Structure 1
Amino acid sequence: MALNFFDQFMSPTYLGIPLIALALTLPWTLFPTPSSRWLNNRVLTLQGWFINRFTYQLMMPINAGGHKWATIFASLMLFLISLNMLGLLPYTFTPTTQLSMNMGLAVPLWMATVLIGMRNQPTAALGHLLPEGTPAPLIPVLIIIETISVFIRPLALGVRLTANLTAGHLLIQLIATAAFVLIPLMPTVALLTGVVLFLLTILEVAVAMIQAYVFVLLLSLYLQENV
C-alpha cells in the first residue's frame, strides 16, 4: 500500500529509466491499422465513423484555412482519450496527470494558433485585445487584461486537464481505501461504499473522455479566432 496517496502521480522509473515514454508509446500500438480489404471489420468501421463525426463537428465553425489542423486535432483527441482511459486500469500510470506533460502539449499548440493569427491577419488578431466601443480611459487597462487572458490560456488548458484527472484518481483511491478498511468492521457499509466506487469509476471514464474533448475543443476555439 502506498505510504502517500499522491505517490500514484509520481512518474515511475525502472532502473533509473522513466517509464513515461513507454506510457506515451503504448496507446499508438493499440490502434488497429487500416487493411487493404474493401470492407473493414467492425472496429475499423466504428473508429472511422467516430473520427469523421468528431472532425466534422470540430471543423464546422472554422474557416477553410483552419481545416489543415483536422489531422492534428483528431490525433490529439485519440491520444488523450487513450492515455486517460488506460490510466484508469489497475497498476497503470496516467501521463496526463503530470502538469509538465500537459503544458508541453498546450503551449506549442496555443503558440501556433497565435502565430498563425499574427501572420495571416495581424489587425484582427490584435483587435481581440481591445473590444469595440471601449471608452478611452479604459483602453490601457483593457489591453493589459486581454493580453494577460491570452497568455494564461495554455496554463488554463494544462491545469484543467491535470486537476480533473488528479482529483478523480485521488477520490477513487480514497473511497477504495475506505471500502477495504470497512470490510471487517462494517460489511454493509463496505458494500455500499463499493457501489459508490463502481459508480465513481463510471463517472471517471466519462470525465476521461470529456476532458480530452474539452482540451481539443478549446484549441479549436483559439484557432477559430486566428484564421
Structure 2
Amino acid sequence: MNENLFTPFTTPTLLELPVVVPIILFPTLLLPTSKYLINNRLITIQQKLVQLILKQMMVIHNTKGQTWSLMLMSLIIFIASTNFLGLLPYSFTATTQLSMNLAMAIPLWAGTVITGLRFKTKSSLAHFLPQGTPTPLIPALVIIETISLFIQPMALAVRLTANITAGHLLMHLIGSATLALLTISLLATSLTLVLLVMLTILEMAVALIQAYVFTLLVSLYLHDNT
C-alpha cells in the first residue's frame, strides 16, 4: 500500500484526540533561559539575534508602533522554531496547516486595521480612494481596494502554508526516490542523496525567511496604520 504524499501533513492524534496544542507549545521549551545574573554563551547569542532583528524591524515605526515589538518578536521566534522542528524526522509542522496560519494572520491583521481606524481614521479611509481618481472610477476603485484589504490575511496565511508545504513535499519525494534507487544504482543514489542534503539546507533557510517575511508584512501593515 502506497503512502499518501500528504500523510505527514495530517494532524496527529493521541487517543483519538488532536495533539496540535502540545505541538504548538513545544517550541517554547527549546528557548534557553537563565536563572543567574550572568548569561551563558547560548543565551547571549540568542539575545543579540533578537536585538538585531528587533532593531531592523522597528526602525520604521513610531512610538505607537513600537509597542507591538514584543508581539512581533514572539511571532517570528514562534514561526521560525516551529518551521525548524518540522524538519526533524517523524515530526509534524504546525505551519503547514492553513487553519493555524489563518488563526495567526487574521487577528494580527485585524489589530493593525482597527488601530488605524482608531488613531488615523481619515488616513486609513483615504487608502480606499486615492487622490485624483476620476469620478466614474470611484465605485469600482473602492470595491477593488476593499477586496485587496480583506485579502491581506489570506495572502499571509497562504504564502506561509504554500512555501512550507511545497518544500516538505519535495523533500519527501526526493527521500523516497533515494530509498527506491538504493537497490538499483549506487551512483544515482549518491546524486539524489546530495540533492536531498542541499534541499534540506535550503529548507532551513526557507524556515527562517518565511518567518521573517510573515512578521515583516505584519509590521508593514502596522506601519501603514500608525
Give the TM-score normalised by structure 2.
Answer: 0.98
**What is the CA–CA distance in structure 2 between the aligned matches of 1:130 and 1:62, rounded to whole Å?**
24
Which residue does 2:179 correspond to in 1?
A: 180
Which residue does 1:70 correspond to in 2?
A: 69
Residue by residue, what CA displacement relative to the aligned partner does 1:153-182 show, whole Å, maximum 9, x if unpaired?
A: 000000000000000000000001001101
- Gaps in structure 2 of 5+ consecutive residues: none
Which residue does 2:220 correspond to in 1?
A: 221
**2:199 maps to 1:200:** yes
Structure 1 runs (4+) greater than 2 angstroms displaced: none
**Deviation at 1:130?**
1.3
1:41-120 to 2 correspondences below 5 Å = 41-120=40-119
**What is the CA–CA distance in structure 2 between the aligned matches of 1:106 and 1:216, rounded to whole Å?**
10
**2:33 maps to 1:33:** yes
- Give the letter for the 1:23 counterpart: I
**What is the CA–CA distance in structure 1 between the aligned matches of 2:67 and 2:122, rounded to whole Å?**
22
**2:209 maps to 1:210:** yes
- Give the letter for the 1:122 counterpart: T
Which residue does 1:24 correspond to in 2?
A: 24
**Deviation at 1:36?**
3.0
Give the TM-score normalised by structure 1.
Answer: 0.97
**What is the CA–CA distance in structure 2 between the aligned matches of 1:2 and 1:110, rounded to whole Å?**
41
- Give the letter for the 1:175 counterpart: I
Which residue does 1:5 correspond to in 2?
A: 5
**Deviation at 1:111?**
0.3
How big is the alpha-carbon RMSD for the aligned residues of Structure 1 and Structure 2?
Answer: 1.1
- Give the letter for the 1:109 counterpart: L
- Give the letter for the 2:108 counterpart: L
SS of match in other structure, 1:131: coil
Residue correspondences, number: 226
- Give the letter for the 2:44 counterpart: T
**Deviation at 1:195?**
0.2
**What is the CA–CA distance in structure 2 between the aligned matches of 1:2 and 1:152, rounded to whole Å?**
37
Residue by residue, what CA displacement relative to the aligned partner does 1:173-205 show, whole Å, maximum 9, x if unpaired?
A: 000100110111111011100000000000000
1:113-152 to 2 correspondences below 5 Å = 113-152=112-151
**Deviation at 1:2?**
6.2
SS of match in other structure, 1:5: coil
**What is the CA–CA distance in structure 2 between the aligned matches of 1:131 and 1:47, rounded to whole Å?**
43
**What is the CA–CA distance in structure 2 between the aligned matches of 1:112 and 1:177, rounded to whole Å?**
43
SS of match in other structure, 1:34: coil
**What is the CA–CA distance in structure 1 between the aligned matches of 2:133 and 2:35, rounded to whole Å?**
58
